[in-house]
A and B are shown apart, each in its own frame.
Chain A
């Protein structure tokens, strides 16, 4: 896929943006999953990608990470294609994407996050091990380092994946539904950690499914439904109108948002969780 507008390879294109997506179209069996996406995420924000089921949220991340081929368009991360920026980017896939019955320990999975920095053949050493233990500490499950991964709860599995991303020492983090199916304590811990990354100048981009918590957790929003419906700072772009455009008839989902759409943060009618 060659795009003349981006100039010769190696030249920086939109280096001031953590993520720059232009004219991206992805189709699956001839059906467009993402259509003509133009998207910019500045560095140092914590961004949510929201949208109804089938909106292409996961596909957008996978396409940015070159896991899914694009039909058209291009992606730049800090000004360069993904292949040139791998070491600056960490990815937390959906928890259910792997078989947790694999014979290994939590610590070992976290160490896999170091593999990209190690390169071929070289084995992780004591420094990598310390780094992994530190990451497990950060996600609050240092005591489970030696635990067989099949014996971890859903929330603990998610924390292990998060720790694996932490040891990648990235500048940009992509997370695919990290809060799906985890307990409230884990969700709070994950959010605190991600906000911590953001506060250290990292960029965090999260596929998120819970509209009720967007205002509380995020400062940047991308509302997606095959096309980009809206993007920008949460206080500007996260409006009931945009959500209605994205979610169409699923209005019941939006009830809490309507009240929250007034500039006050949506605490007024926090639904029972």
Chain B
């Protein structure tokens, strides 16, 4: 459904005290997600995952490679055709507090895009109201209670549900959820993640979950794929559960090791290691592996040569590391052991 091929995007550097060189937000990223499938894009702040999400929604340009939506390249499309194609891919923002107009009630937030949709699909105005009610029920809100409320009267979780309902007004085929739960209370996150998983199943939507929270990605894409991005480059990709239980790339291992261990409920994974803090490097980037400046396993070869994505094991795992080794870094639940 969505395919990106060798996608590259470079932002021109800013001046100022910490004058920066050009930032390569994406370096030859290739990914594919089919209808009804789920993909988790994980990486830390600034790794390019948000840029990637914005590009596949048509909100950001790219300088190299291509984006294909339903096998159609978006490069050659005119404005009108472009709008039509990108209507199939809707973005859920991180911040539900700023994604809704505070001066308009929820009914308006849904009815405006629904009117456009009604005109495009030649439906009448009774459909608009009825559809707004349907969509609110679909995202797990009580329509009668929610319709005439204003955003400030809703909790973070409810607001994000409204944003999801609004994205569904144009009947998309894919949702790109960019840190969609990171600003919501932990207690309510699971409800929103569960909703995304349900919509994926019931509406046959493709879901791309962009996040630094691997557990959240697992919840929506447990039977899908994870792609780990570091400095605009995919360093590891494969089946979600296999990446979590046996990550090969040291950066994936660092991300997974950094997840807090619920001591009392869980014990540290046997190979867990505390990742190196980000090193502030000025000037040129390393010639070799981009992660070599922070990697605890890096040697001179890593610093001098750039690893390409290659196959690992007999599954469909891809990784870019000269010293690949499976390590079990995630915490192990003791629940079962305790009960036994």
Same complex? no
Question: Which of B's residues lie within 8 Å of A, judged by CB?
Answer: none
Question: Which of A's residues lie within 8 Å of B, judged by CB?
Answer: none
